[in-house]
Structure 1
Amino acid sequence: MWRNTSSGWGLVSILLHWLSALAIIALFVLGWWMTGLGYYDSWYNLAPWWHKSVGMLVLFATLARLAWRAVQPTPTAAGTRLERALAHLGHIALYVLMLVVLVSGYLISTADGAGISVFGAFEVPALISHLPDQATVAGTLHWYSALALMLIAAGHALAALKHHWIDRHDVLWRMIDPTRSRRPFGRSTSPTNQGDA
């Protein structure tokens, strides 16, 4: 159940997917909320500390997820050829935007040369700092790429629901139940189209 198969996702991929999704949504909400905090607000320093700490953990999880995906088979995709092509492009966009958001966040925090404390347990060093307008440029990139990520993620979720409720494919169940990776791929009641993810 840990590994992917051509029929479904393994437990490692499923856990990384849902934990990353929840963390990224929480980071977006927290990031939006904390921009309105005043200097004397009790969360003025605490909210960015949480944001940076979780952000670094999500960056590590994303790199691990990409490494795992590189050595694991990708389950067969559902839908028409156009839907499979759009799904492939959508997944690429999601990963690129995740990396842009996370790396730009890192660059904001390390602009002055200080590392990032991750919940006080360890520090991520400032490998890149003191670039011209680093914090400003990275901040702009961070915000707009985060908005784009939320929009693409919403489209991704809607596509999964469309496959589940309209097409009756088991795409959504495969990302919930790792035992699906041991079953034949397709609709819950009849065969479906197959193709590359």
Structure 2
Amino acid sequence: MSAASGTDAAPVGDGWLDTPSRYGRVSRAFHWLMAALFAWQFAGALLYVVTGDNAVTRIVGGSHFTLGFTLFVLVLLRGVWGLANMTRRPPHPGRLGRAAVAGHLLIYALMVVVPGLALLRQYGSGKPFTPYGIPVMPGRDEKIAWMVAPGDLLHHWLAFTLLAVLAGHVVMAFLHRKLRKEDVLARMT
């Protein structure tokens, strides 16, 4: 209860929208849901790289296409939400702030391009794609080689580039707290 108004008042930034001091509930939900889904995606991919094709990697990797599609949809929704909240979001001042903005833009670009290439490859393969039973891409007899090639060439490498950039993102959040005494992680938790 607020002493000045006599009413219950939510702490600043505890609402649905972002504020200059903290990300709102929707932004935080997008962030942590996507972090969990990416963790599952990368765990499965790394497991496959280390152990090869086996029963465990088929179980973990069985959700890879569907979760990749889910992440693609979520990043598009998150991008729209972020643009709608851009003027309310915590600021990133100075040279380090510009570097943080550049890092975030790189993350967003990779989060769109990596699954985008996989979807292009899927469509070009002619195989049907029905995540969650929803017919997104019908099957067909012919393969479209120019659609398959970019995914075959780049999806894997750009995905691991995204993993490296995300690891750097996590490290920077902790370095901000340790070296600069700025608890930027609290804005998103």
CA apart distance, 1:168:
1.7
Q: Deviations over 1:163-189 (max 9, x none)?
A: 12222213111100xxxxxxxxxxxxx
- For 1:88, give the aligned amino acid: V
Q: Is the contact between residue 34 and residue 47 of structure 1 (CA under 8 Å) also seen in structure 2?
A: no
Query: Given the alignment of the two structures, is residue 74 of structure 1 paired with residue 86 of structure 2, yes or no?
Result: no
Q: Is the contact between residue 120 and residue 147 of structure 2 (CA under 8 Å) also seen in structure 1?
A: yes
Evaluate the alpha carbon distance shift between residue 140 and residue 28 of structure 1 in structure 2; reply closer, same or farther with a 3 A threshold. farther
Evaluate the alpha carbon distance shift between residue 175 and residue 62 of structure 1 in structure 2; reply closer, same or farther with a 3 A threshold. same
Write the distance in 1 (CA, Å) between the matches of 2:167 and 2:57. 29
CA apart distance, 1:148:
1.1
Identity of aligned residues (%): 25
- For 2:159, give the aligned amino acid: A
Write the distance in 1 (CA, Å) between the matches of 2:109 and 2:18. 22
> How many residues are aligned here?
169
SS in 2 for 1:124: coil
Query: Given the alignment of the two structures, is residue 4 of structure 1 paired with residue 18 of structure 2, yes or no?
Result: yes
Evaluate the alpha carbon distance shift between residue 19 and residue 90 of structure 1 in structure 2; reply closer, same or farther with a 3 A threshold. same
Q: Which residue of 1 aligns with 2:98?
A: 85
Aligned pair partner of 1:17 in 22, 31, 54: 31
| Correspondences of 1:41-52 after superposition (within 5 Å) | 41-42=54-55, 46-52=59-65
Flag the structure with larger Rg: 2
SS in 2 for 1:111: helix
* TM-score (normalizing by structure 1): 0.76
Stretches of structure 1 lacking an aligned partner (at least 5 in a row): 177-197
Q: Which residue of 2 aligns with 1:173?
A: 186
Stretches of structure 2 lacking an aligned partner (at least 5 in a row): 1-14
* TM-score (normalizing by structure 2): 0.79
Q: Deviations over 1:140-195 (max 9, x none)?
A: 2111111111111111111111112222213111100xxxxxxxxxxxxxxxxxxx
Q: Deviations over 1:33-71 (max 9, x none)?
A: 33610xxx4457655441001111111110100010111
Higher relative contact order (CA 8 A, sep 6+): 1
Q: Which residue of 1 aligns with 2:44?
A: 30
Q: Which residue of 1 aligns with 2:135?
A: 123
Write the distance in 1 (CA, Å) between the matches of 2:156 and 2:166. 15
Write the distance in 1 (CA, Å) between the matches of 2:32 and 2:178. 20
Q: Which residue of 2 aligns with 1:146?
A: 159
Write the distance in 2 (CA, Å) between the matches of 1:31 and 1:82. 35
SS in 2 for 1:76: coil
Structure in which a larger fraction of residues adopt helix = 2
Cα RMSD (Å): 2.3
Write the distance in 1 (CA, Å) between the matches of 2:166 and 2:58. 29
